[in-house]
């Protein structure tokens, strides 16, 4: 479960909250609910999004907890793309899609930019045989700097990418090496002119506060260089230690092993410093992780629609989705994902586990995710679910108000996180969980 509010040491376990109920509560038996949801007509006025998981990387970062592969050859990748296209073909025929256009599309990983130009072009051809994202508000593509060439940047623009997210994480080569990153800082600067010349509507830079080896002087330099590049948005994560990372396994398997990950108070100080410096140059806070240079130009369709309860078709190995009120995850292993889709006579979706949340759980999910924006429109969310939010969650709101993490405007029906609350947003959220789910393992 996430770090408790009074804990400072970075312990092994999940901190970042991305869904509710916790993933550990989803079951194999629950996949019947996902099948039923896909076979039902779409909910009226519910936006539809698509997530495509590209699980290939040059190296596995020591802090990474996603399903990635570093040992697949061109033939393996082509086979995966065949399976992915078949999955999307099957999904496109489901009644739950109902002819709805995609509001947003997100290519995540792994490293989507690991694909060669020809592989990227073939993927586009295969996917467009079943679907279109021409009318999407946002098409996001995650990139690792060392995988980019000028031709690939142009190919991504032709692909329809509107938001390119560059995983820089840190500008120090020593720290990048220590944490297992595949790229070095010179590769950031090599690709930056290509990216800018392509004129994507939104170019985002990712940083991580708390990587092993970081210091105050290094962090200040990271922020300075980020401001110098002047991206459209900056996303800053605080390093956590979920169970399946290299660092976490070292701690759990080796008696007395320690990893020099900064404590939470230090990481929050670094995040606060970055927010202050970015604000001084004209950026605005968009969420507990994100600063935006021009709010009239940049929005986050993927984030905002997903946090408000949109449907999400999740494709690829181990990916998570949400359809007609049901959460589901694909099989998390290579054969478990590939074999059902490549079955010649009866290809089928590789569903692994799922859960149909109760109405209150759906309410809690939207409450906690929307609060990560830094505010909550209690009246709007309460009207959607037929609940007085300030009454229904009065104890949790009062606790955080007393601690100085948020303020409540009861006349306006609005809750706002203070800066101190924003810096620890994920640590606040389990307070809103149902009591029986506050102490269970998150993943």
Residue extents of the structural domains in the chain: 23-198+284-307, 359-437
Round to whole Å and give the CA distance between 165 and 143.
6
E strand intervals along 144-201 = 163-169
N-terminal to C-terminal alpha carbon distance within the chain: 8
Distance (Å, rounded) from C-alpha 171 to C-alpha 176? Answer: 8
Strands 326-330, 320-323: parallel, antiparallel or unpaired by DSSP?
antiparallel
pLDDT at 255 over 70: no
User: pLDDT tens digits, residue range 89-98?
Assistant: 999 999 999 9
Q: In the predicted model, what is the mean pLDDT of the chain?
A: 95
Backbone angles phi, psi at 206, to 5 degrees: -95, 135
Host H or E run for residue 278: helix 264-280
**Residue 123's Cα: distance from chain center in Å?**
22
Whole-angstrom Cα distance, residue 358 to residue 407?
29
Cα(209)–Cα(305) distance, integer angstroms? 26
> Taking the mean position of all CA atoms in its chain, how far away is CA 379?
27
User: pTM, whole model, 2 decimals?
Assistant: 0.95
For the domain 359-437, what is the CATH code? 1.10.10.920
Decide if pLDDT at 402 tops 90. yes
Q: How confident is the model at residue 254 (pLDDT cuts 50, 70, 90)?
A: confident
Sign of the alpha-carbon dihedral angle for 137, 141, 142, 148: negative
Confidence of residue 256 (pLDDT cuts 50, 70, 90): low
Closest to 31 in 3D by CA, of 344, 305, 323: 323
Do strands 202-209 and 163-169 pair parallel, antiparallel, or not at all (unpaired)?
parallel
- C-beta atoms surrounding 29 within 10 Å: 10
């Amino acid at each position: 479960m996430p770090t408790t509010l009074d804990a400072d040491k970075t312990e092994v376990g999940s901190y970042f909250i991305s869904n509710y109920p916790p993933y550990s509560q989803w079951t194999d038996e629950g996949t019947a609910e996902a099948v039923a949801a896909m076979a039902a007509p779409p909910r009226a006025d519910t936006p539809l999004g698509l997530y495509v998981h590209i699980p290939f990387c040059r190296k596995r970062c020591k802090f990474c907890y996603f399903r990635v592969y570093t040992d697949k050859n061109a033939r393996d990748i082509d086979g995966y793309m065949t399976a992915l296209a078949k999955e999307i073909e099957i999904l496109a025929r489901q009644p739950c899609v109902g002819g709805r256009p995609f509001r947003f599309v997100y290519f995540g990983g792994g490293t989507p930019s690991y694909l060669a130009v020809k592989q990227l072009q073939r993927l586009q051809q295969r996917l467009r045989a079943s679907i279109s994202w021409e009318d999407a508000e946002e098409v996001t593509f995650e990139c690792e700097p060392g995988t980019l060439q000028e031709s690939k940047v142009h190919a991504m623009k032709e692909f329809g990418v509107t938001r390119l997210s560059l995983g820089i994480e840190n500008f120090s080569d020593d720290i990048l090496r220590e944490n297992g990153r595949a790229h070095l800082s010179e590769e950031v600067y090599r690709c930056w002119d290509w990216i800018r010349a392509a004129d994507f509507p939104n170019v985002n830079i990712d940083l991580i506060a708390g990587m092993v080896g970081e210091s105050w002087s290094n962090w200040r330099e990271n922020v300075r260089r980020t401001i110098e590049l002047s991206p459209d948005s900056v996303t800053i994560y605080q390093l956590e230690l979920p169970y399946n990372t290299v660092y976490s396994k070292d701690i759990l398997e080796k008696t007395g092993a320690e990893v020099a990950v900064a404590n939470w108070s230090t990481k929050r100080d670094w995040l606060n410093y970055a927010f202050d410096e970015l604000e001084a140059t004209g950026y605005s806070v968009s969420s507990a992780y994100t600063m935006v240079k021009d709010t009239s130009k940049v929005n986050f369709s993927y984030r905002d629609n997903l946090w408000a309860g949109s449907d999400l078709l999740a494709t690829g190995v181990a990916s998570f989705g949400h359809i007609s009120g049901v959460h589901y995850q694909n099989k998390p292993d290579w054969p478990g994902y590939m074999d059902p889709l490549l079955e010649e006579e009866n290809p089928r979706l590789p569903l692994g586990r799922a859960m149909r949340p109760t109405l209150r759980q759906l309410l809690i999910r939207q409450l906690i995710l929307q609060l990560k924006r830094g505010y909550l429109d209690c009246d709007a969310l309460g009207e959607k679910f037929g609940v007085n939010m300030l009454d229904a969650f009065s104890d949790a709101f009062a606790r955080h108000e007393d601690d100085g993490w948020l303020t409540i405007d009861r006349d306006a029906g609005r809750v706002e996180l203070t800066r101190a609350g924003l810096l620890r947003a994920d640590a606040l959220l389990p307070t809103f969980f149902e009591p029986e789910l506050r102490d269970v393992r998150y993943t």
